[in-house]
Amino acid sequence: MAKTKIGILGAGYAGLLALKVLQSKAKDVEITLIDRNSYHNEATDYHEVAAGSVNADKITYQISDVVKPGITNFIQATVTKIDKEAKTVEIEGHEPMTFDYLIVALGFRSETFGIKGATEFALPMDDVESSEAVYKHFIAKLEDYRTSKNPDNLKVLIAGAGFTGMELIGAMAENKAKYAKIAGVTPDDIELTCIDAAPSLLPMFPSDLADYAVKRLAKRGAKVFTSRGINEVKDGVVVAKNMETNEIIEFSAGTIIWTTGVSGSDVIANSGIEARRNRVMVTSQLKDPENDKVYIIGDVAAVMDAESGRPYPTTAQIALVMGHVAAMNIIADMNGQEGEDFKYVSQGTVCSLGNTDAIGVLGNGTKVKGYVASALKKIIMNKSLWETGGVKEMLAKGRFDLYH
């Protein structure tokens, strides 16, 4: 009997978790995993690479480490288009791949919302390479300062104070002394600023925790401003409107980093799949509404949370659960059984503010901050490494400095 062909597009949190479940539980399957990189990366840790806190190697591991030969064929290539009706996937430099079941887990890209100059003059944090590029850019500016004495070289402006922006400014604030040494200045000369259009920060946390985050960052000399809506980016300048006074303000900085939100992979739009910001509203079993053999998960999916009446946010923890549910539903379908609905019970959400500080809310609503929250963040990171890569990757790349 011919084996069932399962394609998995993307080796992020969602794709690799689905792979792991299918490799261990599915019978008579032939899996093809496609990713443009040879490695999996922990997308929640890009800010640490951009800040220079860790090397890229610390947040990546080889996909081949988790691929079971004989069951899975890994192709390192870029997916360009999905044809759901023909059940094929177009791949750069390869023959199209055919499938019986497909899991689309192609992840996110940075979103500029069409703001003038953002693509040209601000640096995104889309992947490991662009995060490394942020750090290299800033270091080059600091080195240049030694001769040019251009004050803007010492300034970083982070556009958007969501999770990514706040985690990034927290990590950078911790490294001020290191940056100062490179430029030959004092840590107080390094200016870190993060601005956001919203009147209040991090709406998923109680306001006292968000206030704590801003105060802690201020103590380390990092400024966060709310109600500053960015209209335009020029070479070395961010133009924003004070949403309370309508005053136009210009922030000059040698390094401008763009963290105003994300969209799903462009492969969704290129494939003519109906979506909003490349996120497809999937069924409760994570299927494409128009093709029940195609599962769409992770940052390219939007799934309704019946309790809140809003789609679940895009987080690594949710992507992992989606990967599990999609794989189990394929196995159920192959066995002629009914699949399960996606449900997510949060065990906690944490936003780091550097290596030793964070804010968080546990699944039962308990608020945590400081080193307790930062230890919790590391436990969540280790758990995700263990879930996708197993014990080996967790021991090699995990964070075990839980006490400070």
Give the position of tokens 């990171």: 381
Contact letters (x/-) for ligand NAD, 78-117, by CB under 6 A? -----------------------------------x-x--
Binding mask 131-170 for ligand NAD (x = CB under 6 A): ----------------------------xxxxxxx-x---
348 phi and psi, to 5 degrees?
Answer: 145, 150
Find the part of the chain contacting ligand NAD (CB under 6 A) among 276-284, 318-326, 343-351, 362-370: 343-351
Q: What DSSP string runs through 323-376?
A: HHHHHHHHHHHHTT-----------EEEEESSSS-EEEEETTS-EEETHHHHHH
Residue window 236-265: x/- pattern of binding to ligand NAD, with contact defined by CB under 6 A: -----------------------xxxx---
Which residues make Cβ contacts (< 8 Å) with residue 189, sequence separation at least 6? 154, 180, 183
Q: Write out the H or E segment, with its range, that includes residue 5.
A: strand 4-9
In the block, residue with structure tokens 């963290």: 259
Residue number of the CB atom closest to ligand NAD: 162
Give me the active site residues, please.
167
Q: How far apart are CA 153 and CA 254, in angstroms?
A: 5
281 CB-contact burial (10 Å; exposed 0-12 / middle 13-18 / buried 19+): middle
Q: How far is the CB of 146 from ligand NAD (least distance, A)?
A: 32
By CB under 6 A, residue 362 contacts ligand NAD: no
Asked if residue 13 binds ligand NAD (CB under 6 A), the reply is no
Check residue 230 for interaction with ligand NAD (CB under 6 A).
yes
Shorter beta-carbon distance to ligand NAD: residue 56 or 67: 56
Rounded CA-CA distance 352/27 in Å is 41
Indicate whether 44 belongs to the interface with ligand NAD (CB under 6 A).
yes
Q: Does 278 bind ligand NAD (CB under 6 A)?
A: no
Closest approach of ligand NAD to the CB of residue 281, in Å: 16
Beta bridge partners of 288: 291
If one asks whether residue 322 binds ligand NAD (CB under 6 A), the answer comes out as no
Q: Where are the alpha helices (DSSP H) in 152-206?
A: 163-174, 176-183
DSSP-derived pairing of the beta strands 4-9 and 101-104? parallel
Binding mask 189-208 for ligand NAD (x = CB under 6 A): ------xxxx----------
Query: Is residue 315 near ligand NAD by the rule CB under 6 A?
Result: yes
Residues that bind ligand NAD (CB under 6 A): 44, 113, 115, 159-165, 167, 195-198, 229-230, 259-262, 313-315, 349-351
